[in-house]
Chains A and B, each alone.
Chain A
Amino acid sequence: MASRTKQYDGITEYSFIGYPDAMKFALAKEDLEKKILEASYGTFVAYDFDEVFDRGR
C-alpha cells in the first residue's frame, strides 16, 4: 500500500486471487497514475499456468 511513503519506496503492491482448479490466477497492481494505492481496487488480469510455469517443456 501507498508506494509514496518512504517505508514502501521501491515496493509495488499486488493483489492475488488463485483459481487452483482452473490452473489460473489473477493479479492486480497498484496504479499511482490513477491514484489507486490499494492493489485490490486495481484491474485484475488472469494468467494461465501454461503462461508462467515451464512444466517440463
Chain B
Amino acid sequence: MNESGLILAPHSAMSIPDWSATKMLDNDPIYRETLHKTATPQEAWNYWKSKEAIRVGGFNTAVSARYRDSLDYPSLTFETDSYGGEARNPVFIDPKDPFSILTTNTFYQYSGSNAKAVSLVNGYRSSLQADDYRYWAMLNLLDDSASMGKTIGTAEMIEY
C-alpha cells in the first residue's frame, strides 16, 4: 500500500512461465515500482502496459484505492503471466457491482497471449465453475449480506 491509498495484493495464478526469457522480473520489484509511481488502479495498469517486463508466471493482483473520490472503478484485478495480461474491471463478472471485485487464483478475462501456457494448466475459466470454491464463498457472503441489507465491515471480514 502506498500513501495515496493504492493497494496491490498478490494471488498466484496458473500459467506456465516463459522459460526461454532471459530478463524475467519477479513481481516484488514490479509492485514496488508501481506503488512508488502511481496512485490509482488505472494509472497502475497504464504503467504496467508501458513496461515490457516479463513476469515470472501466472499472477493475479487485486488492485484497489480510495473509492469515495474515485473517478473510475476503485478496484481492478490484473490478470497477468509471462506473456501479457489484462485488467479485469468489477462489472466483467459477478458480482457485477462497480464497488465490489473478487480475486482468486484463476483468470476470468485473460485467456493468455500464449494460450497454451494458460490452457495446459487450466488457468482460465470463461465463466464461474462449480469448483471455484473460494470465489463462490466470497460471492455468497456478498449476496447474503446484500439480501439482509448488511454491510461487510472489518469484524465480518475477520470472522469470515
Interface residues of A (CB under 8 A from B): 16-18, 20-21, 23, 25-26, 40-41, 44, 49, 53, 55
Interface size on B, residues (CB 8 A): 14
Tell me, yes or no, whether B137 is within 8 Å of chain A by CB.
no
Name A40's closest neighbour in chain B (CB-CB). Answer: B158
**In the complex the two chains form, what is the Cα distance from A16 to B157 in whole Å?**
11
Name A43's closest neighbour in chain B (CB-CB). Answer: B158
Cβ contact within 8 Å between A21 and B154: no
Tell me, yes or no, whether B5 is within 8 Å of chain A by CB.
yes
Cβ contact within 8 Å between A18 and B154: no
Give the number of A-B contacts (CB < 8 Å): 31
Question: Which residues of chain A are within 8 angstroms of B80 by Cβ–Cβ distance?
Answer: none
- Describe A's contact surface by its main secondary structure: mixed
Beta-carbon contacts under 8 Å, B15-67 to A: 64-67
Chosen A-B contacts, 23 in total, with CB atoms closer than 8 Å, are A16-B1, A16-B9, A17-B154, A17-B157, A18-B5, A18-B7, A20-B1, A20-B5, A20-B6, A20-B7, A20-B65, A20-B66, A20-B67, A21-B66, A21-B67, A21-B68, A23-B3, A25-B1, A26-B154, A44-B154, A44-B158, A49-B3, A53-B3
